[in-house]
Amino acid sequence: MSWTDERVELLKKLWADGLSASQIAGQLGGVTRNAVIGKVHRLSLSGRVKPASSTPRPRKPRPAVQHRASARPFIQGNTVLKPHAPPAPRRLPAPIAAEDVVVPISLNRSLMELSDTMCKWPLGDPGVEGFYFCGHKNFNSLPYCEYHSRVAYQPVNDRRRERSNYSG
């Protein structure tokens, strides 16, 4: 279907009369609603204002919002940034001196012998024969056993105290 001068004039008349794009497409025949909208846009025909109704439609009063005390705030819309309860902090054992703990030699494991439930603390130099991993049972689903967790994860206050001693 091509837009002949007669069809364009009919389109302009029907558009000015206030017919919808679907109604115009039905009267013209052989065109879709989207084709009519596209042609109206290319012709830069003015947009039509809907006639104002003689009596305004009454608005329904909104019910009063009742606030109820709840532990969780109401989140509307996107919930990506919704506040969540903080995870329970993991309790780490109190640090002890490394000299006080003896790691049994029988638990030393090579890389190929390690499993998900074993301590992955390296023992020795990786470039030298006799390098192993601790191999004890993990502590609190951490990658290390209880002893190595104490060494690896120091409480924040202890780290601050050490930094302040070096800065003086």
Q: What is the per-residue pLDDT across 99-131, written as a single tens digit (0 to 9) for each?
A: 666 655 557 888 888 888 888 888 888 888 888
Strand 122-123 with 132-133, pairing: antiparallel
Q: What is the per-residue pLDDT across 14-36, written as a single tens digit (0 to 9) for each?
A: 998 889 999 999 998 889 999 99
For residue 61, name the pLDDT band (cuts at 50, 70, 90).
Answer: confident
This prediction has a pTM of 0.35
Cα–Cα distance list, 118 to 111, 141, 147 (Å) = 11, 10, 13
CB 119 within 8 A of CB 144: yes
Q: What local confidence, expressed as pLDDT, does residue 83 receive?
A: 64
Q: What is the per-residue pLDDT across 131-167, written as a single tens digit (0 to 9) for each?
A: 888 888 887 788 888 878 877 877 777 666 666 666 5
Radius of gyration of the chain (CA): 38
